[in-house]
Amino acid sequence: MQPIIDTTLLIIGGGPGGYVAAIRAGQLGIPTVLVEGQALGGTCLNIGCIPSKALIHVAEQFHQATRQAGQSPLGISVTSPRLDIGQSVAWKDGIVDRLTTGVAALLKKHGVKVIQGWANILDGKQVEVDGQRIQCEHLLLATGSNSVELPMLPLGGAVISSTEALAPQTLPKHLVVVGGGYIGLELGIAYRKLGVQVSVVEARERILPTYDSELTAPVAESLKKLGIALYLGHSVEGYDDGCLLARDDKGGQLRLEADRVLVAVGRRPRTSGYNLECLDLKMNGAAIAIDARCQTSMRNVWAIGDVAGEPMLAHRAMAQGEMVAEIIAGKARRFEPGAIAAVCFTDPEVVVVGATPEQASQQGLDCIVAQFPFAANGRAMSLEAKSGFVRVVARRDNHLIVGWQAVGVAVSELSTAFAQSLEMGARLEDIAGTIHAHPTLGEAVQEAALRALGHALHI
């Protein structure tokens, strides 16, 4: 029998939350063991955030090259481009490999013991991995989430999840995406730009239903220009004989021929498969309930990231993981962020930070709402990216900014400035009075604040 491993902190899950918690704990001198059943980096690094953005980049480059092969308004002419999807996937895999190798090196540098295998929880102080027992003072659950599966569309063969969509051996002729949320649209747009016919089937009446319609309108227009067919208000019934079957709210049947179907209808906290039920933790729906310190209903049992529910964002998990390590080290910390940016990497991109106009109204706030269009921004024009806008939401009485939203090319890069302004309690005058570099997309941030104050300079 193997000797029991004793440690102060035991982390189950090596995704963004788990590995950041482990690195920070190691920096603070906390003896730490990290257990991971698959690859370090978790879903985000291996089959989510990073590979999807790499594939989106490949698709955009191919799309632009194809565009230049026709009548380019820029005066550029190239011969007809060809795509080697195998080489594209290998390039994407190379990025993932470099990042996961880097994570492993950082864990080793900070003295974290990594155990490869699937954890089986025995109680709040003991876990077993392939017969090896590990005993701890603190147990941190960072197990992430799984793709939601549909019973009428079991995965296998032509029906795939985002995992398979990010590592295609060949490209389909017609991809049907089930789900009009950010995962489905990001991948659907990428496949369309790679030359695939794409259709999107969504049960609700509009795409990106968690975002307001004004923000999603430029995305819907882009889908139309790209030639992506939208079937909104349709409930999927199954896949049979090479066709996706769906029905609208009036009973009309839709039959779409498709040689591949991508199911992208959301994610669910991963709470099964490691005997979590033996802890009898308090739950918040499908997620583990936590307090402002990420403590569960059991003393010294913590939960971070997707397994603790919405928002399911890697950067939230990282911040929580760092905080828990510092609490265990004796520091006074609470997870009370002023804002967590949500970014949708569609074409164009969408960013939401803080309160939207509707949310501010629901909170009883009397707010000024102002936006500045990229059509009036010189940098956007030079990038052929005039679609979209930046919008600011601020209290009318003291001009305190409570929210930012943006839709446009590369607006994801504005998310940090948006979040910082809310964390630092910025007012409209602070943003309006900051000199923004010219020509940049960021000038639209200043112009939105100026417009809210009644004196925008370029509109």
Task: Tell me the residue type at 357.
Answer: P
**Residue 210 half-sphere exposure toward CB, CA atoms < 13 A:** 15
H-helix or E-strand containing 6?
strand 5-12
Asked if 110 is an active-site residue, the reply is no
Extended strands (E) in 209-348: 229-232, 234-240, 243-248, 253-257, 260-263, 267-269, 283-284, 287-288, 301-303, 342-344
DSSP state for residue 399 in the 8-state scheme: -
Spatial separation of the C-alpha atoms in residues 456 and 432, rounded to whole Å: 9
- Is residue 93 packed enough to be buried (19+ CB in 10 Å), middle (13-18) or exposed (0-12)? middle
Task: Transcribe 202-234 into DSSP letters.
Answer: ESSSSSSTTS-HHHHHHHHHHHHHHT-EEEETE
Beta-carbon contacts of 252 under 8 Å, excluding residues fewer than 6 positions away, are none
Cα separations in angstroms, 320 against 303, 304, 315, 434: 9, 6, 9, 31
What tokens does 62 get? 């191919």
Calculate the CA dihedral of residues 19, 25, 29, 35 and round it to 10 degrees. -50
Burial class (CB in 10 A: 0-12, 13-18, 19+), 185: buried
H or E element in which residue 372 lies:
strand 367-373
**Per the structure block, which two tokens stand in for 180?**
């009009």
- The CA distance from 127 to 257, in Å, is 48
How many helical (H) and strand (E) elements, i.e. helices and strands, does the chain have? 13, 24
Locate tokens 């992430």: which residue? 144
In degrees rounded to 5, what are phi and psi of residue 254? -115, 135
Q: How many residues does the chain have?
A: 459
Task: Choose, from 138, 315, 399, 438, the residue flagged as catalytic.
Answer: 438
Active site positions, annotated = 438
